[in-house]
A and B are shown apart, each in its own frame.
Chain A
């Protein structure tokens, strides 16, 4: 099991460029989420999905799009990058199992927007 994988690990963008952060999980989890972490802060939810074809906005969705065509993949698109989107982005997947729930995080993508 690879768990939750994210690519790329690092990315530098210029203001106005677009890009897609990739996220994949091989645990057959229903729920997937994207968070951002700014320096010295906790994580904030950008978008999440409760299953293939179903997505919804989190706390800070502006400037980002998501789609979920398969259970495994949940890409995050930056439409027109801004310096305020400089952050570390984490993808997570989770399930609601009989033993409780656990949200597993990918290793993160560090994004710098110039």
Chain B
């Protein structure tokens, strides 16, 4: 069964606008971690943001914030004030359980294109 679901295969967003990328996850573990990565066309995987299941506050890193709704099992990424350089593939991933350090499960990704 799919553990990480990203329902938006692709989206266009205008420069300077905010964009929300959806991610839902499936786990019965109480301890887990959620990650977002950016993959530009050059291919590298760039870590953006992390949210632990026990973290009470939503994670933020600069223009990135994670809207963590535990009861709904959702971990949406919000990019504020989009820039042309934000055009990339974005992946949501989960580390599930306390014995899974170093093991991430990835969603299929969302392709974001930022237009002038």
Contacts and interface: CB of A to CB of B under 8 A. Distances in A.
Q: Do A and B interact with each other, yes or no? A: yes
Interface of A: 30-33, 35, 40-45, 48-50, 58-59, 88, 90, 92-94, 96, 100-105, 107-108
Contact of A108 (B37, B43, B106, B108): B43
B105 to A, nearest CB: 7
B102 A32 contact: yes
Contact of A33 (B4, B44, B52, B102): B102
Given A90-B45, A105-B45, A107-B44, A45 B103 contact: yes
A41 B108 contact: yes
Interface of B: 4, 33, 35, 37, 43-45, 47, 50, 52, 55, 91, 93, 95, 101-109
16 contacts: A35-B106, A41-B108, A42-B91, A42-B107, A43-B91, A48-B102, A50-B101, A90-B45, A92-B104, A94-B102, A100-B33, A100-B50, A100-B52, A101-B50, A103-B104, A105-B45
Given A45-B103, A92-B104, A100-B33, 15 more contacts: A30-B101, A33-B104, A35-B104, A43-B45, A43-B106, A44-B106, A45-B105, A50-B101, A88-B43, A92-B102, A96-B101, A100-B55, A101-B52, A102-B50, A103-B104
